[in-house]
A and B are shown apart, each in its own frame.
Chain A
Amino acid sequence: MGTKRVGLARVEALMENLKRELSLSGATLTAAHLTDITRLVGSAASVTEATAGGPELAESLVHLLSSTNNTHKVKMFDPTAAGQICILFNTDGAEDVVVVNSAGDALVPALPLGEGKGAILISKGTAATDWLQLALTA
């Protein structure tokens, strides 16, 4: 009788034969190389800003935003680590969305997103004020 232990090679073979969805339930993969990626999809919750105070966005790679008033706000979640990427896009057809940090203060520089415009933010640390603007839709 052979060993009952399952070695790395067996696990690797099993993983490589896995053609189904693998729900990781929030587990973190670190130090991974991701190559030949055929699909990259953020958990794109759609948030409608309906009040002047603004809802706080949940942590996500992508946020699709809409708005009922040009002055309405959404609050960024605080970054978990330096180097975190967040994509925001205003899918609204008529109104701007103002993006502020979790304390309600304006980002630096300020980030009003016009309808049909997006931004890529990147964090330099974990504070509410650590979101930087990498790129904006022209």
Chain B
Amino acid sequence: MGTKRIGLARVEALIENLKRELSLSGATLSAAHLSDITRLVGSASSTTAALADPGADLTESLVSLVTSAADTHIVKMFDPSAAGQIAIVMNIDAAKEAVVETSAGVTITSLVEGKGVVLLSKGTAATDWVILFKTV
């Protein structure tokens, strides 16, 4: 009888033959090299901006799609989990602007309909989001 231990090669073979979806349920993959990526999709829940106080909170995601019922309505960013975090906020509304604020209520930018912004965090505080670039 062979060994009962399962080695790296066996695990690698098992995973590499996995053609199905692997739900990681929020598990973190760290220090990875990701190569030959054919599809990168943020968990793009659509959030409708809300009145100025309190606004609508965005949940942590790579991509946030936003709609709005009025040009002054607000979505509030989640706080960054780490420095170097990337977040994309896109206003997919056809008619109204949305204001993007920090969780503390400080305006980051205003997004005209059909425009978006790529944010980058320099730390984990609410105020640590900086604008990397924005749709012109």
Q: Please, which residue of chain A has its CB at the minimum distance from the CB of B18?
A: A27
Q: Please classify how large the interface on chain A is, using the bins under 10, 10 to 19, 20 to 34, 35 or more.
A: 35 or more
Chain A residues with CB under 8 A of B8: 14, 17-18, 20
Per the bound structure, the CA–CA distance linking A62 and B30 in Å amounts to: 22
B46 within 8 A of A: yes
Q: When the two chains form their complex, are residues A4 and B21 in contact, meaning their CB atoms are under 8 A apart?
A: no
Contact A31 B29 (CB under 8 A): no
Residues 53-89 of chain A, each 1 if its beta carbon lies under 8 Å from chain B, else 0: 0000011111000000000000000001111110000
Contact of B114 with A43 in the complex, beta carbons under 8 Å: no
Residues of B within 8 A of A34 (CB): 28-30, 32, 34
Contact with B along A121-137 (1 / 0, CB 8 A): 01010000000111110
> Taking the complex as formed, is A22 at the interface, i.e. its CB lies under 8 A from any CB of chain B?
yes
Q: Contacting B82 at CB < 8 Å: which of A23, A35, A124?
A: A35
Residues of A with C-beta under 8 A to B32: 34, 36-39
Residue of A nearest to B23 (CB): A30
Output the least CB separation between B14 and chain A (Å).
9
Interface-located stretch among B37-45, B51-59, B69-77, B97-105: B37-45
Across the interface, do A18 and B29 meet the contact criterion of CB distance under 8 Å?
no
- Kindly state whether residue A9 has any CB partner on chain B within 8 Å: no
- B118 part of interface (Cβ distance < 8 Å): yes
Whether A134 lies near B15 (C-beta < 8 A) is: no
| B39 x A83 contact (CB < 8 A) | no
Residue contact A122 to B21, C-beta cutoff 8 Å:
no
**Cβ-neighbour of B35 out of A10, A35, A39, A135 (below 8 A):** A39
* Chain A min CB distance to B91 (Å): 9
Q: Are A85 and B88 in contact, CB atoms less than 8 angstroms apart?
A: yes
Q: With A30-B22, A31-B24 in contact, is A135–B134 under 8 Å at CB?
A: yes
Q: Is the CB of A36 within 8 A of B31?
A: yes
**B15, B16, B116: which has the most chain A beta carbons within 10 Å?**
B15
Contacting residues, chain B, for A60 (C-beta < 8 A): 37-39
The interface residues of chain A lying within 8 Å CB-to-CB of B39 are 28, 59-61, 80, 84
Q: With A22-B12, A83-B63 in contact, do A2 and B4 touch (Cβ < 8 Å)?
A: yes
Structural contact, A30 and B24, CB atoms closer than 8 A: yes
Indicate if the CB atoms of A61 and B38 lie closer than 8 Å: yes
Taking a contact as CB atoms under 8 Å apart, the answer to whether B63 and A122 are in contact is yes
Checking B43, B46, B133 against A135 with a beta-carbon cut-off of 8 angstroms, the contacting residue is: B133
Q: Considering the complex of A and B, which 7 residue pairs feature the smallest CB-CB distances, nearest first?
A: A83-B44, A39-B33, A83-B63, A83-B42, A33-B28, A43-B36, A41-B35
